[in-house]
Amino acid sequence: MTNGADPNSESSFDPFEEFNRAQGAGAVRDPYVRWRDQRREAGIVQEPVAALIGEERSEELGTDLTVYSAISYDAVTEILRDPARFTSSGYAVTMGPVLGSTILEMDPPSHTQYRGLIQQAFSRRALERWEHELVRPIIDGYIDSFVETGRAELVRELTFPFPVAVIAGMMGLPDEDWPRFHRWAIELISVGFNPERGLEGSLKLRRLFARVLAERRDEPKDDLVTRLAEAELEGERLSDEMIYSFLRLLAPAGAETTYRSSSNLLFGLLSNPEQLEALRADRSLMEAAIDEGVRWECPLTGIIRTSTADTEVCGIAVPEGAFIHVNVGAANHDEERWDDPDSFDIHRLHRQSVAFASGPHTCLGMHLAKMETRVVLNALLDRLPNLRIAPDADDTHITGYMFRAPRELPVVFDS
């Protein structure tokens, strides 16, 4: 499925479909079997880089390098919670050219300082205001467009577009900028397989953010850009370039991961109708359902780290400078931590997963993502009685390797 290029864009190139294909959409259905087999060998294993970026891309780069893949819960948490031994600085090389300097590539203490500044923009008061004034109206607006029809394709008509509308609204971007903003954000994170287009998307986003930031400095508003411009911690403020960089990080992170996590959770519930009805009847199960959704199918399965010295992880030697794929998707299916981990079960005994990472780099937008998911689920349960997978749906499933989501969710309901 093509999520839809903007028909008024400067080219017919569809960055959404290109990005999905590069992530294994339509080609990789269930990576967990392979990861389970690897985990039987050890909590961290060596494998060719082609396992992460694909054979075709590996051949283009002319590399036969190997990487370390952490695939058990214990290995993943050990690495994520120890930035002294496992640095995030590699992102400066892979994503720095399109993002600039961000907290993604920083280790403590600089990470702690800048995270503290940025976190001020995500206060409890701001989240509550965004929920009532932005998220709910946006979601209701999308549902309004199909609620009378009795059927919908929930990815294209709801879960794909609503998170980017929320992020753009939080930033205070004009409505007419939203389609281009989304397109450029996806082009930016396509830098790994299309560097030229990634750099072009980054530049266009910087121009957009520079215009908005200049407007907010002249006339502050109650939006994210203004909050970042005014944030102060111990006399420190964010520079304009740091603000642009964080907004470039937030644009794809907020849109892509929330669209995928909400789609994955909906697929899990729709595939288990008795759990969907249990949630409809008892909304106190909502937090457990959201936590189970991101554990069962987290939207982004891998995080990158680099070892700073010769060390060991779960008894396996790892040399200094090793490139490590921290596989949170595999860790969330570790049978040593969860019974029957491949099954979706909102009633299971809760144990903390690593879907939102762990340690200093625990996802800054976690509470925003959970709030958006809660709002969209409540709206669907309230407004679409007898919601179910369309009987004529053709093999609906989750797909992808590094980024995972269903390509479509065709449903019917009582209108």
Per the domain annotation, does 396 fall within a domain?
Answer: no
Beta bridge partners of 69: 45, 325
What pTM value is reported for the model?
0.92
Give the range of the structural domain holding residue 174, as residue numbers without chain letter.
15-385
Per the domain annotation, does 182 fall within a domain?
Answer: yes
What pLDDT score was predicted for residue 53? Answer: 61
Spell out the residues 6+ positions from residue 226 whose beta carbon is closer than 8 angstroms to its own: 172, 216, 220
Q: How would you class 232 by CB atoms within 10 Å of its CB: exposed for 0-12, middle for 13-18, buried for 19 or more?
A: exposed
- What is the rounded distance in angstroms from the CA atom of residue 7 to the CA atom of residue 280? 38
Please identify every stretch of the chain with a pLDDT value under 70, giving residue numbers as ranges. Answer: 1-12, 53-64
What pLDDT score was predicted for residue 99? Answer: 95
What pLDDT score was predicted for residue 48? Answer: 85
What pLDDT score was predicted for residue 294? Answer: 98
- What is the rounded distance in angstroms from the CA atom of residue 317 to the CA atom of residue 330? 20
What pLDDT score was predicted for residue 15? Answer: 84
The dihedral built from the CA positions of residue 89, 94, 100 and 103, taken in this order, carries a sign that is: negative
What pLDDT score was predicted for residue 266? Answer: 98
Per the domain annotation, does 100 fall within a domain?
Answer: yes
Per the domain annotation, does 411 fall within a domain?
Answer: no
What pLDDT score was predicted for residue 6? Answer: 44
What pLDDT score was predicted for residue 254? Answer: 83
ω into 179 cis (within 30 of 0): no
Q: With contact defined as beta carbons under 8 Å apart, do 343 and 332 qualify?
A: no
What pLDDT score was predicted for residue 62? Answer: 55
Per the domain annotation, does 360 fall within a domain?
Answer: yes
CATH for 82: 1.10.630.10
Give the total residue count for the chain: 415
Per the domain annotation, does 408 fall within a domain?
Answer: no
Per the domain annotation, does 129 fall within a domain?
Answer: yes
Per the domain annotation, does 402 fall within a domain?
Answer: no
What pLDDT score was predicted for residue 2? Answer: 41
What pLDDT score was predicted for residue 132? Answer: 96
What pLDDT score was predicted for residue 291? Answer: 98
What pLDDT score was predicted for residue 25? Answer: 81
What pLDDT score was predicted for residue 16? Answer: 84
- What is the rounded distance in angstroms from the CA atom of residue 323 to the CA atom of residue 321? 6
Q: Please give the tally of structural domains in the chain.
A: 1
